[in-house]
Structure 1
Amino acid sequence: MKTKILILTAVVLLLVSCGTKKSVPATPATPVVTEAAKTTTLTPELAEGKNLYENSCARCHKLFDPKKFSQEDWKPILVKMQKKAKLDDTQMASISNYITSQL
């Protein structure tokens, strides 16, 4: 009985190992864009706005990509969020300038 199980196991292993291999279709090479290439240099004011945006807004919800909304769409969002985040007008101006610079 053990011999039959061993033979059957060997035959199955042989069939599996000789089976066809699935090949990955060749895809055209896509250029790799590094994070350094995406990053633009920010002025100190814009860097402060980015910092405020990332730290103040991310406390309550996920951050949205600034390009997700138009400049007109951002205005009421920022006004509404200013009250909730308890930010003063100067801080909101920095955040608004940062978001506008990213559009």
Structure 2
Amino acid sequence: MKTKILILAAVVLFVVSCGTKKSAPATPATPAVTEAVKTTELTPELAAGKSMYENNCAKCHKLFDPKKFSQEDWKPILVKMQKKAKLDDTQMASISNYISSQL
């Protein structure tokens, strides 16, 4: 009986090991290259705005891609979030400039 179980286990192990290899789905390399081309160097002021956007906004919710909304859509969002995040006008202007630069 033990030999039958061992033989069965060996056969199952062999069949499983000979199964098709699952590979990661192929991802096209062009979007990554395209994104790298699209990104531009940020000035120190815009980099500070990006940092504030990432640090202050991500405390409460996920970060949205600046391109997800238009400039007109961002204005009331930023006004509302300025109060909640307790940011002064200078910090808000920096964040707003960063978002505008990404549109």
Q: In structure 2, the residue corresponding to 1:90 is in which secondary structure?
A: helix
For 1:96 and 1:42, the matched residues in 2 are separated by 14
Answer with 1 or 2: which has the greater Rg: 1
Deviation (angstroms), 1:22: 4.1
Residue of structure 2 in register with 1:98 after alignment: 98
TM-score of the superposition, structure 1-length normalised?
A: 0.71
For 1:7 and 1:59, the matched residues in 2 are separated by 56
Residue of structure 2 in register with 1:75 after alignment: 75
TM-score of the superposition, structure 2-length normalised?
A: 0.71
Residues 75 and 8 of structure 1, relative CA distance in 2, 3 Å threshold: same
For 1:73 and 1:21, the matched residues in 2 are separated by 52
Runs of 5+ consecutive residues of structure 1 not aligned to the other structure: none
Deviation (angstroms), 1:80: 0.3
Runs of 5+ consecutive residues of structure 2 not aligned to the other structure: none
For 1:47 and 1:70, the matched residues in 2 are separated by 20
Deviation (angstroms), 1:30: 2.5
* Aligned residue pair count: 99
- Structure in which a larger fraction of residues adopt helix: 2
Residue of structure 2 in register with 1:45 after alignment: 45
The share of aligned pairs that are identical, in percent, is 67
Deviations along 1:2-50, one digit per CA (max 9) or x if unpaired, are 55x259628x828x64xx85477xx88822526x826421001101100
